[in-house]
Amino acid sequence: MGSTLNGASETTGGSVLRVGVIGVGNISKQYFAEFPKLPNLQLVVVADLDLARAAEVAAEQGVRSSSVDELLADPEVDVVLNLTIPAAHAEVALRALEAGKHVYGEKPLALSTAEARPVLELAAAKGLRVGSAPDTVLGSGVQTALAVLDSGAIGRPIAAAVAWSAPGHELWHPAPAFYYQPGGGPLLDMGPYYLTSLVSFFGPVVRVSGAVARSDRERSVATGALAGTPIPVHEEVDTHVTAILEHANGVVSTVTVSFEVWASRVPLFEVYGTGGTVAVPDPNRFSDPVEIATADDRTWRAVPDSAGFVDAGRGVGLSDLAEAIEQDRPHRASGDLAFHVLEIMEAIIVAGREHRVVELTSTVPRPAPVLQSATVA
């Protein structure tokens, strides 16, 4: 495989994982753009419920198209990249595993831990890998922040604060209705980026509390062919969520995610230590700069990139999974990590609606950091 994690030099004899993509919607474009940079991945076939759309995308990518059933039965597919809507994530993952294929999916892993647990159990029984987005946390932004924290530059971390907000994805997405159906909302859509980062920084969460709200604001599509179409908000979707997370190592994180904020000056993501503060870049992106202010002068300064993939994009987590299979090591964007993050989100919703503290039942090791800058080209 090519140059990847930890500054490893390029080799030519590594194995290549052959990829079949199910679901060629909006997010798939970002994966297709990155495949040429990831030499241990080979796109071989795409499928979608819309066969005409699958054929169009296949022609653009120079690969075959097929039905979903045909892709799952295809002996040339080693791993299924599951880019379906959240409501189909668990079903497609189970079918891929039953067909003897590894699976890597978009977030969330499933709509609930009850849906996700059989996926991990089947994978373990069959000796197959399950991976899940977000892999943005493997980029130079979050990984450099992690390196700063591990270096002790701000002393012992005490707390972290996240505040992601927007009026709603209907302002930019051409078909945003699924964001307001089960599996959507600001928590399940945006929460995985921040929660995965927090677990990568501080390890597993042991208990949560929180509050949730849901407005009756009328929403409609703002752009594209569906502009003006009303968007119903499902009764199970909370549009503003605030949570307090207690990590096993004692760090306390506060997290707010919202589809109700038109403008804000609240910092996006910060970590507070006994000797300073780290401003963490947006974990929905791979490579924004990290800043630090220490107790010595309390002046912000930029930190040079020192860890993670350089110039990375979506798909690097799948590339790491391919490398991990070859090296017989755990992959970083793992199903176990995604399951723990899913349980955190589930617990936040229960805590908010029932006004109580919820203890988590799952745990996960902190993923191995990407110790040195690396490129995927």
Say what the pLDDT of residue 371 is.
Answer: 84
Say what the pLDDT of residue 13 is.
Answer: 44
Residue 207 pairs in a beta bridge with 246, 359
Say what the pLDDT of residue 15 is.
Answer: 85
Say what the pLDDT of residue 290 is.
Answer: 97
CA within 13 Å, CB half, 322: 25
- Rounded Cα distance, 180 and 226, in Å: 16
Say what the pLDDT of residue 270 is.
Answer: 98
Interaxial angle between packed helices 335-354 and 185-202, expressed in degrees from 0 to 180 and rounded to the nearest 10: 120
With cut-offs at 50, 70 and 90, classify the pLDDT of residue 14.
low
- Rounded Cα distance, 343 and 309, in Å: 28
Among 326, 337, 324, 323, residue whose Cα is nearest residue 366: 337
Among 251, 68, 270, 83, residue whose Cα is nearest residue 178: 83
State pLDDT tens for residues 296-339. 999 999 999 999 988 899 999 999 999 999 999 999 999 999 99
Say what the pLDDT of residue 3 is.
Answer: 31
Instruction: Kindly state the average pLDDT of the residues 75-85.
Output: 97
Say what the pLDDT of residue 182 is.
Answer: 86
Say what the pLDDT of residue 6 is.
Answer: 31
Instruction: Kindly state the average pLDDT of the residues 33-55.
Output: 97
State pLDDT tens for residues 264-307. 999 999 999 999 999 999 999 999 999 999 999 999 999 999 99
Higher pLDDT, 259 or 183: 259
Instruction: Kindly state the average pLDDT of the residues 31-43.
Output: 97
**What does pLDDT average to over the chain?**
93
Residue 102 pairs in a beta bridge with 79
Say what the pLDDT of residue 8 is.
Answer: 28
Share of the chain above pLDDT 70, in %: 95
Close Cβ partners of 377 (under 8 Å, ≥ 6 residues apart)? 2, 3, 37, 311
Say what the pLDDT of residue 183 is.
Answer: 82
Q: Residue 292 corresponds to which amino acid? A: I
Output the pTM of the full model: 0.92
Say what the pLDDT of residue 311 is.
Answer: 85
254 backbone dihedrals φ, ψ, rounded to 5°: -110, 135
Say what the pLDDT of residue 310 is.
Answer: 83
Burial class from Cβ neighbours inside 10 Å (0-12, 13-18, 19+) for residue 260 reads middle
In the chain, the largest separation of any two C-alpha atoms, in whole Å, equals 62
Instruction: Kindly state the average pLDDT of the residues 171-200.
Output: 94
